[in-house]
Copies of this chain bind each other. A is one copy, B any other.
Amino acid sequence: MELTALTEAVIGRLFVELEASGRHVHVTAQQAQQLFGHGLTPKRPLSQPGQYLANERVTVIGPKGEFQNVAVLGPERGEAQVEISLTDGRALGITPPVRPSGDVTDTPGIILKTDRAQVQLPRGVIAAQRHIHVHPSDAARLGVADKQLVKLQTYTQRPVTFEKLLVRVSPDFATRVHLDIDEANACGFRPGDLGRILHE
């Protein structure tokens, strides 16, 4: 094996690509209709298969502040969810609980607004729990199982080991670590940076 190929094989065996998720919104088909007059339309695909950044954008309004031009991710979901950082929460006047995606029981609500309409979400605001999407074909090499909590060391400008990183394994996933913007900035993340799961 050539050195380059060997290096790549070792990197592929040990390391996982990091991604930073900015603040974003998921809406239902009905809410998309209300807010935009039509369903979501894809602008560009995301790393997770079938997921996309929509052309549509919304304003999210909290008790103390708002963010305009917030990304909406498609496809539409069964229930709306607004994923923000704790820093964002301070600006909005909302304290988002740290939750896995989809776990919106007893979470704060928020207002979504466009030129067409305003929708009051009764719940759905979370700070996404740090997690790693794992394709089943990668689970063995990484030594992880679905729902496990693992430690991940970042190879970044300001290195950090994130504890309690939630493992999610599914054939629908591409293998990627997802950090929120606070976490990404705390470790000095730059696109292309890698992390390594620590087995202690």
Q: Which residues of B contact A139 (CB under 8 A)?
A: none
Taken residue by residue from 183 to 198, chain A's Cβ proximity to chain B (1 for < 8 Å, 0 otherwise) reads as 1011110000000000
A162 nearest in chain B by CB position: B160
- Is the Cβ of A160 less than 8 Å from the Cβ of B161? yes
Asked if A163 lies at the interface with its beta carbon under 8 angstroms from chain B, I say yes
Q: How many copies does the complex hold?
A: 2
Q: Which of A146-193 contact B (CB under 8 A)?
A: 151, 153, 157-164, 180-183, 185-188
Q: Could you tell me the distance in whole angstroms from the C-beta of A160 to the nearest C-beta in chain B?
A: 6
Q: Which residues of B contact A129 (CB under 8 A)?
A: 158
Given contacts A85-B185, A86-B185, A87-B182, 18 further A-B contacts (CB under 8 A): A86-B188, A87-B87, A87-B185, A98-B157, A151-B161, A158-B163, A159-B163, A160-B161, A160-B163, A160-B186, A161-B161, A161-B163, A180-B186, A181-B182, A182-B185, A182-B186, A183-B186, A186-B187
State A130–B187 Cα separation when bound (angstroms): 11
Taking beta carbons and an 8 Å cutoff, which residues of A are in contact with B?
Answer: 85-87, 98, 129-130, 151, 153, 157-164, 180-183, 185-188
Q: Could you tell me the distance in whole angstroms from the C-beta of A149 to the nearest C-beta in chain B?
A: 10
A85 nearest in chain B by CB position: B185
Q: Which residues of B contact A159 (CB under 8 A)?
A: 163-164
- What are 27 residue pairs bridging A and B, where the CB atoms are less than 8 Å apart in the complex? A86-B185, A86-B188, A87-B87, A87-B181, A87-B182, A87-B185, A98-B157, A98-B188, A129-B158, A130-B158, A151-B161, A153-B163, A158-B163, A158-B164, A159-B163, A159-B164, A160-B160, A160-B162, A161-B161, A161-B163, A180-B186, A181-B182, A182-B182, A182-B186, A183-B186, A185-B186, A186-B187
